[in-house]
């Protein structure tokens, strides 16, 4: 079974261009240097899933023409990954059913806190209708799409990555244990965060992400969660090893997913 993957956003928490910045990346006329907050869309013939509801979620859905959504997977609770959740209500209106949400316990607690009005017993008309489900390390399926959660570290915070058949998505990480790396091995395609070239407290650098791809012997790797500090898309792309690419908003590719 084939899955279609679309980059809805490839930027870090501030997006690119960043507000009030006058660097060459933020002033670039290259569309590939314009990055919404990081998210991907996953589609099979039967099912459509989004990973994370960023602050740009509404625009991402409109820009990509998404008319139906079956579920949302969350990586973690930082605002650049959850802040757009309220706009799920548009899909509720169309489907007349709650939206299934999947995340770890910490993320579930944050969603209940930040969007408290959607989880109260007495609900105001027009609020999002949500079906929140806590997941752990066990694999599960959303309709015809099998999903394997992968736990990574974002400094001290546990973040979920996900594997779908021969494709793995990892964002907001700077450490992956050997046990969790074993879940990634064998992937044909990897998307992994690479914030910038300089060392960072809680994200992989570009070189660290390159080293991870080499270590896991991944044939094709795309980098995401990119800041304006990375440099111009075309210049950085020309320096990457074979089979490695900077992701960009709107990039689409296909992968295999086998139940």
Query: What does the pLDDT profile of the chain (259 residues) look like in tens digits?
Result: 899 999 999 999 999 999 999 999 999 999 999 999 999 999 999 999 999 999 999 999 999 999 999 999 999 999 999 999 999 999 999 999 999 999 999 999 999 999 999 999 888 889 999 999 999 899 999 999 999 999 999 999 999 999 999 999 999 999 999 999 999 999 999 999 999 999 999 999 999 999 999 999 999 999 999 999 999 999 999 999 999 999 999 999 999 876 4
Structurally, how many domains does the chain consist of?
A: 1
Q: What are the strands of the beta sheet with 130-134, ordered from one edge?
A: 130-134, 99-103, 71-73, 48-51, 39-43, 2-9, 252-256
The pLDDT value given to residue 97: 97
Measure the CA–CA gap between 190 and 219, rounded to whole angstroms.
8
Contact 174, 204 (CB under 8 A): yes
- The reported pTM is 0.97
Q: What is the pLDDT of residues 166-177, one digit of tens each?
A: 999 999 999 999
CATH number of the CATH domain containing 167: 3.60.15.10
The pLDDT value given to residue 257: 75
Q: What is the pLDDT of residues 104-146, one digit of tens each?
A: 999 999 999 999 999 998 888 899 999 999 998 999 999 999 9
For residue 156, the enclosing domain spans: 2-256
Number of H helices, E strands in the chain: 7, 14
The pLDDT value given to residue 95: 95
Contact 196, 229 (CB under 8 A): yes
Place of tokens 């309709």: 143
Q: What angle do CA 105, 107, 109 make, to 5 degrees?
A: 70
Q: Which residues pair with 16 in a beta bridge?
A: 35
Q: How do 140-142 and 145-154 pair as beta strands?
A: antiparallel
């Amino acid at each position: 079974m084939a899955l279609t993957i679309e980059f809805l956003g490839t930027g870090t928490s501030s997006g690119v261009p960043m507000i009030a910045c006058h660097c060459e990346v933020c002033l670039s006329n290259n569309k590939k240097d314009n990055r919404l907050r990081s998210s991907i869309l996953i589609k099979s013939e039967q099912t459509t899933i989004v990973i994370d509801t960023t602050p740009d979620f509404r625009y991402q859905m409109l820009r990509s023409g998404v008319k139906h959504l079956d579920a949302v997977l969350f990586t973690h609770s930082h605002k650049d990954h959850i802040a757009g959740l309220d706009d799920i209500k548009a899909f509720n209106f169309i489907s007349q059913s709650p939206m299934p949400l999947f995340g770890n316990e910490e993320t579930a607690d944050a969603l209940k806190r930040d969007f408290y009005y959607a989880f109260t017993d007495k609900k105001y008309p027009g609020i999002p209708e949500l079906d929140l489900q806590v997941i752990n390390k066990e694999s599960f399926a959303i309709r015809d799409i099998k999903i394997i959660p992968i736990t990574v570290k974002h400094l001290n915070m546990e973040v979920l990555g996900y594997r779908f058949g021969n494709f793995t998505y990892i964002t907001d990480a700077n450490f992956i244990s050997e046990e969790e790396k074993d879940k990634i091995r064998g992937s044909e395609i990897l998307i992994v965060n690479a914030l910038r070239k300089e060392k960072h407290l809680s994200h992989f650098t570009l070189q660290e992400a390159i080293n991870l791809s080499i270590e896991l012997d991944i044939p094709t790797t795309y980098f995401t969660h990119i800041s304006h500090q990375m440099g111009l898309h075309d210049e950085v792309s020309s320096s990457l090893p074979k089979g490695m690419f900077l992701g960009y908003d709107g990039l689409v590719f296909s992968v295999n997913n086998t139940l």
